[in-house]
Chain A
């Protein structure tokens, strides 16, 4: 049973397919917002297959093992994290108390692999890209953590399934978490390195940032990991901030799909209507706007919890 969970549903296979589907929706919505036709539905899969068929080049000066292992690390981290996201109801595949914290740490591994990948590439652009990855990590990770911490405090549990169960019983409580929801959406945009926070891989400045030297199969895996990360982050937010669940697993799964798609739409709109910020502007925005907001969120939740008791 667990092998099935890990490899097929909700594990690797489903996650990969849904990641490609979300990439398509993102690109299509982005294109339509720009008054373009957009790609056909199979484009993300076609891109992936094409990348798989390309030659893999490892720079001479890079450590060969580290260079090839890092994409797999990223993929493993994100796949593991997805096992704790409840997608067909209020319970995930392998829930345990404290899985929220484990999941956030697993997700923090991904930017670290980006950083190491860039640093190990021994290329100037990659080095600058990885510096920016790390700088940005410290900017968005704190508000994202705190934004999810608040609702968890209110639900009095460190398990994602527990949080889901609490808000399924008390849907109005989720209204208190609206500021946190906003913070989480923006921080997600930073974590996924999308406009306006795509400084680490700003194409016109530093080519492809940390991924400059990557190509072929290894880059395909990295790309897939980023798309999967999108699914996981949207999944977490859909559980923590949107209290819509169903007892029926099938219906619950449909609700999960709808919730993630709507949130992806919001992310695509943000991407379409903003320009890329400079790294120092991004850090300032995160610490001056997002962090105070998420602190306020914590305060709201603490007060609400006090009142409840």
Chain B
């Protein structure tokens, strides 16, 4: 144990100072959703399949839809993106989504 500990003492630390160093994310990562309104046809398969009911699609006009996402409910599984037949939904790499007020967590995509 002793040699191992002394050896580690002179190696680069494994921990990082977070706000300064944000680390890498992997390409597969499922972060905040991205919604392309022009592709959406309003079938609502995504909100029907959402395990937590975080996503709702609202009609705002003729063939025009908006997506409302509750960030506090979303579990970032990406099922909605899989369910969407028109590829209107996709996952981004955005993950720093915390907020102190619940209102801020209800976002329009």
Q: Chain A interface (Cβ within 8 Å of chain B)?
A: 29, 31-38, 269, 272-274
Contacts and interface: CB of A to CB of B under 8 A. Distances in A.
B60 interface: no
A32 B2 contact: no
30 contacts: A29-B9, A31-B13, A32-B8, A32-B9, A32-B13, A33-B5, A33-B8, A33-B9, A34-B5, A34-B8, A35-B8, A35-B11, A35-B13, A35-B14, A35-B15, A36-B13, A36-B14, A36-B15, A37-B13, A37-B15, A37-B16, A37-B17, A38-B13, A269-B2, A269-B5, A269-B6, A272-B5, A273-B1, A273-B2, A274-B1
Nearest to B10: A32
Interface residues of B, number: 12
Secondary structure at the B interface, as helix, strand, loop or mixed, is: loop
Contacts of B15: 35-37
A34 B8 CA distance: 7
A257 to B, nearest CB: 21
Interface in B1-38: 1-2, 5-6, 8-9, 11, 13-17
Contacts of B16: 37
Contacts of A37: 13, 15-17
Given A33-B5, A37-B17, 18 more contacts: A29-B9, A32-B8, A32-B9, A32-B13, A33-B6, A33-B8, A33-B9, A35-B8, A35-B11, A35-B13, A35-B14, A36-B14, A37-B15, A269-B2, A272-B5, A273-B1, A273-B2, A274-B1
Nearest to B4: A273
A41 B17 CA distance: 14
A273 B13 CA distance: 18
Which among A31, A33, A34, A35 has the highest number of chain B CB atoms within 10 Å?
A: A35
B78 to A, nearest CB: 33
A36 B14 CA distance: 6
B5 to A, nearest CB: 5
B27 to A, nearest CB: 28
A92 to B, nearest CB: 34
A33 B14 CA distance: 11
Contacts of B6: 33, 269
Contact of A273 (B5, B11, B14, B17): B5
A273 B7 CA distance: 12
Contacts of B14: 35-36
A303 B7 CA distance: 41
A187 B39 CA distance: 73
Contacts of B13: 31-32, 35-38
A253 B2 CA distance: 31
A37 B1 CA distance: 20
Contacts of B5: 33-34, 269, 272-273
